[in-house]
């Protein structure tokens, strides 16, 4: 596979300091088109271990005239999101355009329970929560805990990354769930729980929520995007983490709950035991004035190595229902690279929030802006 390497200017948003027990991980990015504000979220941990997550942090950014971005000071999203005995993880923003409400979804994990523990026992110790803001994060609502309102919640986790709102108004939050690999788990101990990507969605502007059906193929963390083909048929595209080999890609009718897994064309390499990746859609750059009816292209970011988390690449697909149509990647960050999140700004320009560093991908979370034309 041919790769191109670019040197992009990056701004450090969250800088880890292990001596001070500060490690930032799991970036989530959202661009508010109405208020022209960028939201950068992350977990602030004591160590790199998942179970050491303490708070969710946020910065907001605004573009200024010389093309740079002015960022606020970091602050805890809201102390009120903490449930006694739980720690928050997996920030995942989604915006409802009619009410101009930003939802921040996250999970709260009991004690120091790890994901490996969840898989081993087939029991979920997570609670599914969200808070909202209508003033660019200046104030946040009280926490809403959906755990007891959704009967399937004992098996699911949301995020990380970003959600989306479709043209029809449906809100979609990426998620994944664990199910037993056997119908005869011994005394409810599964030992081999299998994860599959799904989504949480709302058709009433976030008042009520429900889950889609899970993908048939083994998959983990995912992100989704709405695409429009040349016949003006809308689909939801899902790109999900896997273990080795290649990414899992699937599509669903825009208002359906079932996903059809696409055959792999071997274009999107997975990294080792897997790594989260990001995907966004944007209007095909054909010069049409009616972008709402233009076919939509996809942009995807993920480490390009098949063995370790290095060399964050960006891929372009102008025919999203064709898994063989992905471009070769260009490397936007050479060296250690981990989780990332993309946001479309306008006219084919994008922002990316990424884990990266010199010796390790968890040294910092950095921000950059680029055009899809940059090297693709």
Catalytic status, residue 355: yes
pLDDT for the residue 195: 86
**In the predicted structure, residue 119 carries a pLDDT above the cut 60:** no
More confident residue, 87 or 262: 262
Instruction: Report how far residue 147's alpha carbon sits from residue 85's, in angstroms, rounded to the nearest whole number.
Output: 16
The pLDDT of residue 184 is 45
Residues 16 and 19: their CA atoms lie apart, in Å, by 9
Domain ranges of the chain: 10-182+189-285+292-374
Helix residue ranges, H only, the chain:
115-121
Joined tokens for residue 351: 């922002």
Task: Catalytic residue, from 24, 31, 43, 50: name it.
Answer: 50
Q: Is the pLDDT of residue 41 over 90?
A: yes
Q: Which of 235, 339, 341, 372 is an active site residue?
A: 339
Between 118 and 296, the more confident residue is 296
Reading the block at residue 368, the tokens are: 């950059």
| More confident position, 99 or 253 | 99
Class of domain 10-182+189-285+292-374 as given by CATH? mainly beta
Active site residue 363: no
245: left (phi over 0), alpha (psi -120 to 50) or beta: left
Which residues, other chains included, contact 67 with Cβ-Cβ below 8 Å and sequence gap of 6+? none
Q: Record the tokens describing residue 373, joined without a space.
A: 């034309």
- pLDDT confidence of 254, banded at 50, 70, 90? confident
pLDDT band at residue 181 under the 50/70/90 scheme:
low
Structure confidence at residue 152 as a pLDDT band (50, 70, 90): low
Higher pLDDT, 87 or 98: 98
CA 38 to chain centre: 15
Among 277, 176, 296, 291, which residue's Cα sits nearest to residue 235? 296
50 catalytically annotated: yes
* 312 and 337 Cβ atoms separated by less than 8 Å: yes
Instruction: Considering the candidates 221, 223, 311, 355, report the single residue annotated as catalytic.
Output: 355
What span, in angstroms and rounded, lies between the C-alpha atoms of 53 and 87? 6
Tens of pLDDT along 62-71? 998 777 899 9
Q: What is the pTM of this model?
A: 0.92
Mean pLDDT lowest for which of 77-81, 182-186, 361-365?
182-186
Count of H-run helices and E-run strands, the chain: 1, 26
């Amino acid at each position: 596979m041919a790769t191109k390497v670019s040197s992009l200017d990056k701004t450090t948003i969250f800088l880890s300091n292990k001596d001070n027990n500060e490690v930032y991980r799991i970036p989530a990015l959202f661009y508010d088109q109405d208020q022209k504000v960028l939201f950068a979220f992350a977990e602030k941990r004591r160590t790199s271990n998942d179970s050491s997550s303490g708070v969710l942090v946020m910065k907001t950014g605004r573009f200024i005239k010389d093309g740079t971005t002015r960022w606020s000071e970091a602050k805890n999203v809201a102390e009120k999101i903490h449930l006694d005995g739980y720690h928050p993880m997996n920030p995942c923003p989604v915006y409802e355009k009619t009410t101009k409400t930003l939802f921040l979804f996250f999970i709260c994990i009991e004690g120091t329970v790890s994901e490996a523990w969840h898989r081993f026992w087939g029991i979920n110790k997570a609670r599914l929560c969200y808070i909202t803001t209508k003033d660019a994060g200046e104030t946040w609502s009280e926490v809403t805990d959906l755990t007891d309102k959704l009967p399937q919640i004992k098996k699911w986790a949301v995020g990380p990354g970003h959600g989306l709102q479709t043209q029809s108004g449906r809100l979609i939050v990426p998620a994944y769930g664990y199910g037993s690999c056997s119908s005869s788990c011994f005394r409810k101990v599964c030992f081999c729980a299998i994860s599959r990507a799904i989504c949480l969605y709302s058709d009433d502007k976030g008042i009520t929520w429900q889950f889609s059906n899970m993908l048939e193929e083994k998959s983990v963390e995912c992100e989704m995007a709405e695409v429009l083909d040349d016949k003006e048929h809308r689909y939801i595209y899902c790109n999900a983490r896997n273990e080795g080999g290649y990414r899992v890609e699937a599509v669903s009718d825009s208002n359906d709950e079932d996903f059809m897994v696409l055959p792999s064309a071997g274009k999107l390499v997975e990294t080792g035991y897997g790594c989260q990746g990001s995907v966004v859609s944007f209007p095909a750059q054909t010069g049409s004035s009616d972008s709402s009816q233009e076919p939509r292209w996809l942009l995807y970011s993920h480490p390009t190595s098949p063995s370790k988390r290095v060399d964050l690449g960006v891929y372009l697909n102008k025919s999203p229902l064709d898994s063989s149509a992905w471009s070769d990647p260009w490397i936007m960050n050479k060296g250690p690279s981990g989780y990332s999140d993309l946001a479309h700004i306008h006219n084919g320009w994008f922002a990316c929030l990424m884990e990266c560093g010199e010796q390790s991908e968890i040294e910092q979370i950095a921000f950059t802006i680029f055009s899809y034309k940059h090297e693709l």
